[in-house]
Amino acid sequence: MSEDRKLLEPLAAVVSTGTRLLLGLLLAGVVLNIVSGTIPFWSGASTCVTADWTSGTSATADTAFTALDGASVSSIPRYCADNPSTGQQALGALSEAPALVLLVGGLVVLNQLLRAAARNGVHTRQTASRIRFLGWWLLIGSLAAELAQAVSQAALLTTLTGGATLAGVALHTATFPYLAVLTGLGLLVFGRIVSAGATMREDLEGIV
């Protein structure tokens, strides 16, 4: 097992330290919110939505950045609540929370994976199972987080404009998380490879 521990370093130490630091910062933020009395926790969330799909050519620009002939300047409207209500603050927080949950959860799962691999060995069925779980977390979690963020931003924008619809805005604001999905798929494949290696190792140990 000592060889497996050496194989996982320094990644295991970096991930462990980063996970503890991030969880500590989150806990400190919650405590500060409670002490300062700024509950609900979404009181500091952004209540602005950038509608970049409605961008058009703007005729006004700063003289230092005046467009030359053959160039155009695009204006991107950004809708913000001047005096956000509790509901708007909650929607702003919900548009930011999914990405944070995905990040923190992914770090915790990765940390548990590395600790278990160092303790039980890299080429084991348990390690393969944890790798697959991390892959599913990234694959499904990234899609769910993107959908939740898009719906929250769409719902917030409908409270700031008169003609926006929830479904229409959500379709425009949602973007496919290609990198996270590809990483998740890669981990699922790698988990199957590790599982096959663990099976071969068990067969060899049985023969010996």
Long-range contacts, stretch 54-58, CB < 8 angstroms, 24+ apart: none
Helix, strand or coil, per DSSP, at residue 47: coil
For the stretch 165-194, pLDDT in tens is 777 778 778 889 999 999 999 999 999 998
Looking at per-residue pLDDT, the higher value among 50 and 104 belongs to: 104
pLDDT (0 to 100) of residue 160: 82
The tens digit of pLDDT for each residue in 30-52 reads: 777 667 655 555 555 677 787 76
Is the pLDDT at 208 greater than 80? The verdict is no
Whole-number Å distance between alpha carbons of 179 and 105:
17
Cβ–Cβ < 8 Å for 51, 77: yes
Is the pTM higher than 0.85? The answer reads: no
pLDDT at 61: 46
d(CA 38, CA 30): 10
* Of 133, 124, 131, 44, nearest in space to 90 by CA: 44
